[in-house]
Structure 1
Amino acid sequence: MTHSICIDHPIVTPDDGLFLGNGDLSVSCWQSPGTIIFQLGKNNFWDTRLLLDKNPKPAHIEELRTLVMDPNFKVDGTSRKLNGDKLTDRQREICRRVPSQGYTAPMPKPGPQVHLHYPPDWRQCSIRQTLEIERGLLRIEIRHFAGGMLVLEAVVHPEENRLALHWTLSGITPENRYGGYFYGLPDMPLVYATLSREKELTREEFIRREYLDHGNRHSQNMSPLPPPQTLLQNNVLIQKIPDSMSLYTAGAIPEDGGSETFADVLCLTPSKDCSEGTFSFGVSTDSAEDAMQLAQQSNWETDLQAQTDSCDKFWNRSRVSFDSPVLEECYYAAMHGKRSLLKAGVYPPGLFFPSALKDFSLWRGDYHLNYNYQSIFMGAYESNHLEQGDAYFTGIAPLLELGEKISRDYYGIDGGCFVQLCGYPFPVEDDYFGSLPLGRMAYMTGWVAAYFYRRFLLTQDLDFLKNKAYPFLKKAAVFYTGFLQEDDQGIYHAFPSNQGECDFSYAGTMDQPQVIYHAAYALHCASQAATILHVDRELAAEWEHIRSHLPEQFSEMPKDMAPEFFNFDGKKADAKKAPDFLTPGNPSYDWYFGHMPYRFSIRLRGGIWRVAEDYQALIDYLKRWRQPNGLMRAMSVATHGYYGPWTESLAIVGSLNDMLMTSDGGIIRLFPGIPDGHSASFSTLRAEGAFLVSAIKQERVKKVDIFAECNGTCRLVNPWPQADCILEYHGETEALSGEILNIQMQAGTSCCLRQR
């Protein structure tokens, strides 16, 4: 079965556009009268200006320990309102937002627009837009009532940053042809393309339009910096950000066609009365020459075949099916989004799709490490796409380099790493967020550690564990060893650190659940990794000692489950009640979809999802948030406006994977989110222990296939607890029974399970 997204009306904003991409270059397609518009975005095109000289010296943890002992002291987590007695000027300056946060940079920047022009007098037309997900192909048909038809196909090359367009025009007659010679003005071809970039809006005009769009003024307090300069040279559009970087976009002249420039617009024209043609555009942050070479190397048939081959390889890595079209369509649209945005070795995007960015972005479009950044990668490894999940490490690398400095200089912990709340995909000299209320939260370090270790659990890749994961896990454990404070009873406390986006006060910074859970799991991951690698035996023992001597109220946390899948924000989910995201009046239902995937997976992985009661409500909820282009909005337009699709909404892939299979603690559970009487199936989802699992449920589980990438014991909750099952392995058949099935497997072998 293949999947498509079809829209039979014009799309009027890039937020809602149909999208293509290769993990670095992405495109959003929408329309205005007489034009099909492709807005381009490149993951690493950022305004990198960071005014650190405007900031006070970042806060040292000892300053904060002294400050927070005042029982009247508090900095509100959202309003930043400050309470405290006899505060010094230094204390006040570290309790305010750092000045550099008030500017319009750092921030990802939008690329240019390609306009495919067709007869502008074609107003009485029908339009059908089809995104063929498994082919990575966008096809648009525009039919004039008097018989003319334009067919446009578009692909983004899977490896080279190039947009290729192929068009055909048919049925042209005097009845549907408009225009002609008029006092020397050029008679434009019926189809042609332009490349341009509008000048960046002033801050005042942006705020005015923001208010007109949705009644809010989120960007009104940003101070502008000199805007990017746009110029056109030798058919290359250059967007140059002062004291930062440039984006180069080139358009290749069509065969037997021509080009002209006017007012920084590049116009590409086919030969006169041509009924078929191609346009290609190359994008680079390296040089104009590189962009032009990319554009000129295009061949439509070659690019289309490269995309077809790449898509075949991608979609053969795993498959899922649900008997609910809503669930299946959501999954494939989001997976297509991940394929468009994520690629190993390439900086991942920030909060928004690069192909639909506005001139300015909420929260400067940065990497937010308190769930947003992690969300885009949720489910990547489980869906057997290491190439997606590994982009995480490229993006996080500058934050880890900075984190070592913060640990050393502002916590006094040599050899540790403190991961800051927010970050950017480029190196910086010093802590740019080192003030209250949110600049000294100590739980992001553990969240990052969990991701490193999860990759090992799912792949059993010892080279990765030794050379990439353990070096960071050790730094995370060293940080928590120095940060956690031992009392006279031998219990270790997390102080001071707030959680979520909560107040910074004595009560708000002592043993916050989110901090304790992430610290405990990071210590556990580091000690387990050291044991596996036979290194740092004494440190591993110390880390386990600290983990086992945390405050007793946190002992309920499962040792082998990452905290984000147990207790997302420090608040336990109530197993007896409907989830908050299915409850009107709750933010996750009313306006904040972004939290939903983690909150949903907590219930699935923790065994508290009310599968029979809430299954249909879940489907209705997804229908409520799903847009015509298949994506979810992480936050409603009513509250946050149009800023482009939110990357965190792609986390729904992880939750839908979890409906089919979980494997926390190395125990595989099949179809925890699918009620009896419903059907679903999947192939080669990845489980802990490096097992690739396939299963079919037709009202009840029918068959399970498991492939082992490594030697090990596959532990599976028996899908048929009331009956024996048959194991077929190595050409032999064996009857198994019990609550947990333990199957010894050798690397490179497969087994099959079915009910007797």
Structure 2
Amino acid sequence: MALLCVHAATAQQVAHPSPAPPEPFVLTAPPAQTPTAKVPDAALAGNGDIGLTFGGSPGQFKLYFGKNDFWRAYPVYPGGGIALPGGLDVTIGELDGADYKVTQSPTEAVIRGSFSKPGISVATEAWVAAMHNTVVLRLTSTKSCTAQLRLWAPDGNTGVVKQGTSGNVSWVTRSFENTPLLEWPSHVALAMNAPQGAIRLEPGKPVTVTVTLYTNHDRPDWKEAAVNEAAGMNESGLQAIYAAHAKWWKDFWDRSSISISDPMLEKYYFTSQYLFASSSRPGKFAPGIWGPFITKDSTAWGGDYHLNYNYQAPYWAAFSSNYTDLTDNYDQPLLDYMDRGRVHARTLLNMRGIYYPVGIGPKGLCTTRWPLTPDEMEKRYATRENTIDSGYKFLGQKINAVFGAANMLMRFYSTYDETYARRVYPFLLACADFWEDYLKLENGRYVIENDHYGEVMPNLRNKGQWRHMLGDYNSTLSLGLVKMLFKGMLEVSAVLQTDAARREKWRHIVTHLAPFPTQEIDGRVRLKSVERSPAEWHSRAMGLARVSIHGLILPGEVCGPVTDPAFNAILLSDVRHWKDRMQQPGEWGNTLGNGIETCFPGAVRVGYDADDILQQLKDRIRASSLPNGWITQSGGGTETLAAVPLTVNEMLLQSYEGRVRVFPNWNRKRNASFHQLRAYGAFVVSSVLSGGTVRQVDIVSEKGRNLEMENPWNGNPVKVIRNGKKAETVSGHVFTLKTKAGEKLRLVKG
């Protein structure tokens, strides 16, 4: 193989069915939305740090390389945010006008292409090495032809581009440094162990091009590392890289699985898992709104960490899917911003604790300053006042830091990992400090003033007139997330055996927060978004919606059929009326704009009809998704990757109310199974539903906590097998089992 390198136990035991390999997406036309400021429509691959977008046409392949840690650390977008390192163009003139077929295979994490016309056919394979900073492209032609290679980095946006050679290695670098307001430098290097220019493809003789990227955030010798690896790449090394890649992805797919006898949803379930795993990896920078699939500078919202749900949501399915390690990178940006968050709280609100703007980046970066000049402010926001909140975009919301705490609590409940809890406890405690100060005790209840349900800001639509909309009182978003926080503080502090003296206050807050507001209209009680507000739009009868779901159900997790059946009935009634606002298939829950990852699992948790949820989910996917399997919405990108996995997982297993429930919202006439999904309490659970009956439930107790479980057999006796030996029999609608760390339990009908 020619090689060129561009571096940048019982009788009743039932086997858990092995699901079919994830089906690939096949693209039959060149991508029409690549490059883009949002999600590209091309085939995608990644290793959680480097993203490969396979764009272009048969005559000119355009490989775009994104990287989660390559940022222009400027505090305003457009201009600031994640940036494009560069790409590789491969031009084969003989393929102009050829047929286009590109297959994105999640099983192997490989993109395969087939480009044919009379007299010539070229096959390609492209992948991002799971364990190395290497992108691989393999070309095989049926006819002698020339392929032109051009390694490039984009000019502009204050980036400094250099290129050169070192021995037989050609390299390109791009750097952001030494410009006003830039908070830290970023450098990236790509290197090729052949001159820029032509290579020859001979019939049946594959040529492999590999691409590796290093930044200064990877290592201090970022350029030297790229050049040295380019010079040293050989065929045996590439084979070792592929072996490590194949093993990583095999292990990934073995971690958990589901089978629901619905090929379409299974295809999107596993593709969404693939795209998330391609976007996020421990030890690397966290993915922003578009993950590492960057095809231009100045992406929408700077591709930043948007804290009023966009940053948090992509991770939500990872906990129940047993991919907890893929969430390791989530906390660091929030921890890094704490010093600035304390300054915001003290200087802007005279509060203890932390107060975060709507958007941040890595390494303590704020991405969401108002434009720096009145002229630019007027152009973009219809007002010359660019000093609102000292120039930072809080948009009327105080809840962003607590919103960030939600994922920390979800991970803690999923693992009860004390080492992890100690790492994030200072952040949680700083949130508690802030809200102890901010809450007001009025008439025996804690109330929340001027924390807004939605973003309140000047813009072109309101012609810069916005202050009259300020004044939300007891927003359901705020009430729910604050209750979530203090419930979490009680649990985490108890496990860590710290701050016992503060728990009485925290308990008092949990039990005395203002009730969630409701109203009766036309004889039906429904949820109100806020108790009161000067903003006219709150007076409309909305009922349960995406933002209130965030506070109450996901990620707030303070409501549900176990927690408060009567209030849950109100929420369920609201979901039943979502169809009232639909004008066409795919609009259920008003999720075309935002919220598919929120409204669908939220509907599952309140107990809405399972079959209708699945049908509405499929209609929503058909209404707005790309040929590569990415479900799209107008307001964001990576958060939709949680939508299908989380919806399905919550149908098969729930535990967020402290009680494990298998198939809690599933049509028992439909066979289904799941293997190694994760439940709160640090339990890993598997089960099979067949012929209308739960055949068995297998549970691994990682931390030896008590297991409260809803009886899968409608109150009938349940036999418990512990580590392969028959143990006790339990019964009742709900039962509790004591467990030991590492113990394996099997439950079967008695």
Q: TM-score w.r.t. structure 2 length?
A: 0.78
Q: How does 1:89-100 map to 2 (within 5 A)?
A: none
Per the alignment, in what secondary structure is the counterpart of residue 477 of structure 2?
A: helix
Corresponding residue of 1:601: 601
Q: Deviation digits for residues 507-545 of structure 1, max 9, x if unmatched? A: 733222211221222122112222222222221111212
**Residue 112 of structure 1 pairs with residue 86 of structure 2:** yes
**Residue 29 of structure 1 pairs with residue 54 of structure 2:** yes
Per the alignment, in what secondary structure is the counterpart of residue 212 of structure 2?
A: strand
Corresponding residue of 1:531: 494
The separation in 2 between residues aligned to 1:727 and 1:622, in whole angstroms, is 41
**Residue 514 of structure 1 pairs with residue 477 of structure 2:** yes
**Residue 42 of structure 1 pairs with residue 67 of structure 2:** yes
The separation in 2 between residues aligned to 1:581 and 1:138, in whole angstroms, is 42
Amino acid at match of 2:498: V
Change (3 A) 1:735 1:430: closer
Amino acid at match of 2:362: P
Q: CA deviation at 1:741?
A: 3.2
- Aligned residue pair count: 639
Which stretch shows the higher mean deviation, 419-428 or 305-314? Answer: 419-428
Q: Deviation digits for residues 216-241 of structure 1, max 9, x if unmatched? A: xxxxxxxxxx5323332222212223
Q: How does 1:128-277 map to 2 (within 5 A)?
A: 128-146=101-119, 148-170=120-142, 172=143, 190-200=146-156, 226-234=157-165, 235-242=170-177, 243=179, 244=182, 245-253=185-193, 258-260=194-196, 267=197, 269=199, 275-277=205-207
Corresponding residue of 2:26: 7
Q: Deviation digits for residues 239-277 of structure 1, max 9, x if unmatched? A: 223535344342332xxxx413xxxxxx36358889322
Corresponding residue of 1:657: 649
Contact kept, 8 Å, 1:565 with 1:601, in 2: the verdict is no
Change (3 A) 1:580 1:345: farther
Corresponding residue of 1:56: none
Change (3 A) 1:521 1:272: closer
Corresponding residue of 2:436: 481
The separation in 2 between residues aligned to 1:112 and 1:507, in whole angstroms, is 43
Contact kept, 8 Å, 2:407 with 2:555, in 1: the verdict is no
Per the alignment, in what secondary structure is the counterpart of residue 115 of structure 1?
A: strand
Q: CA deviation at 1:720?
A: 1.6
Contact kept, 8 Å, 2:146 with 2:199, in 1: the verdict is no
Change (3 A) 1:646 1:538: same
Per the alignment, in what secondary structure is the counterpart of residue 110 of structure 1?
A: coil
Structure 1 residue corresponding to 2:257, chosen from 316, 319, 335? 319
Per the alignment, in what secondary structure is the counterpart of residue 384 of structure 1?
A: coil
Corresponding residue of 1:220: none
**Residue 739 of structure 1 pairs with residue 733 of structure 2:** yes
Contact kept, 8 Å, 2:188 with 2:214, in 1: the verdict is yes
The separation in 1 between residues aligned to 2:24 and 2:616, in whole angstroms, is 23
The runs of 5 or more residues in structure 1 that have no matched partner are 51-100, 178-188, 201-225, 261-266
Amino acid at match of 1:686: R
Q: CA deviation at 1:348?
A: 1.7
Per the alignment, in what secondary structure is the counterpart of residue 539 of structure 1?
A: helix
Per the alignment, in what secondary structure is the counterpart of residue 149 of structure 1?
A: strand
The separation in 2 between residues aligned to 1:542 and 1:629, in whole angstroms, is 50
Contact kept, 8 Å, 2:600 with 2:617, in 1: the verdict is no
Which stretch shows the higher mean deviation, 436-445 or 7-16? Answer: 436-445
Structure 2 residue corresponding to 1:695, chosen from 675, 679, 687? 687
Q: How does 1:353-502 map to 2 (within 5 A)?
A: 353-414=291-352, 416-428=353-365, 432=369, 435=388, 438-465=394-421, 467-487=422-442, 489-502=443-456
The separation in 2 between residues aligned to 1:144 and 1:518, in whole angstroms, is 58
Corresponding residue of 2:12: none
Corresponding residue of 1:208: none
Q: CA deviation at 1:578?
A: 4.9
Corresponding residue of 1:204: none
Q: Deviation digits for residues 551-590 of structure 1, max 9, x if unmatched? A: 244699999966545689x995634625469933696667
The separation in 2 between residues aligned to 1:311 and 1:272, in whole angstroms, is 32
Corresponding residue of 2:95: 122
Amino acid at match of 1:382: S
Q: Deviation digits for residues 463-520 of structure 1, max 9, x if unmatched? A: 222x213222211111101111233x34322123222224655873322221122122
Identity %: 22
Contact kept, 8 Å, 2:141 with 2:203, in 1: the verdict is no
Contact kept, 8 Å, 1:370 with 1:500, in 2: the verdict is no
Q: CA deviation at 1:455?
A: 1.3
Q: CA deviation at 1:39?
A: 0.8
Q: Deviation digits for residues 414-445 of structure 1, max 9, x if unmatched? A: 3x122322112232489946836844412223
The separation in 1 between residues aligned to 2:45 and 2:580, in whole angstroms, is 30
Q: Deviation digits for residues 9-32 of structure 1, max 9, x if unmatched? A: 232243111111111111111232
The separation in 2 between residues aligned to 1:301 and 1:381, in whole angstroms, is 33
Change (3 A) 1:689 1:496: same
**Residue 620 of structure 1 pairs with residue 619 of structure 2:** yes
The separation in 2 between residues aligned to 1:232 and 1:268, in whole angstroms, is 18
Q: Deviation digits for residues 583-632 of structure 1, max 9, x if unmatched? A: 3369666772531211122222233x222444323323223333221110
Contact kept, 8 Å, 1:153 with 1:166, in 2: the verdict is yes
Change (3 A) 1:142 1:670: same
The separation in 2 between residues aligned to 1:497 and 1:376, in whole angstroms, is 24
Change (3 A) 1:577 1:504: farther
Corresponding residue of 1:215: none
Change (3 A) 1:618 1:673: farther
The separation in 2 between residues aligned to 1:418 and 1:424, in whole angstroms, is 15
Per the alignment, in what secondary structure is the counterpart of residue 738 of structure 2?
A: strand
Q: TM-score w.r.t. structure 1 length?
A: 0.78
Contact kept, 8 Å, 1:566 with 1:602, in 2: the verdict is no
Q: Deviation digits for residues 308-358 of structure 1, max 9, x if unmatched? A: 011122122111222111111111111111111111232222221332333
Amino acid at match of 1:355: F
Corresponding residue of 1:717: 710
Structure 2 residue corresponding to 1:339, chosen from 252, 273, 277? 277
Change (3 A) 1:337 1:6: closer
Q: Deviation digits for residues 123-167 of structure 1, max 9, x if unmatched? A: 464443222212212222223333x33222222122322101222
Pairwise CA RMSD: 3.1
Per the alignment, in what secondary structure is the counterpart of residue 525 of structure 1?
A: helix
Change (3 A) 1:38 1:565: farther
The runs of 5 or more residues in structure 2 that have no matched partner are 1-19, 35-39, 217-221, 371-386, 457-465, 519-526, 528-547, 561-567
Contact kept, 8 Å, 2:43 with 2:104, in 1: the verdict is yes
Contact kept, 8 Å, 1:497 with 1:510, in 2: the verdict is yes
Q: CA deviation at 1:656?
A: 2.6
Per the alignment, in what secondary structure is the counterpart of residue 727 of structure 1?
A: strand
The separation in 2 between residues aligned to 1:581 and 1:240, in whole angstroms, is 53
Which stretch shows the higher mean deviation, 732-741 or 374-383? Answer: 732-741
Change (3 A) 1:35 1:293: same
The separation in 2 between residues aligned to 1:230 and 1:726, in whole angstroms, is 68
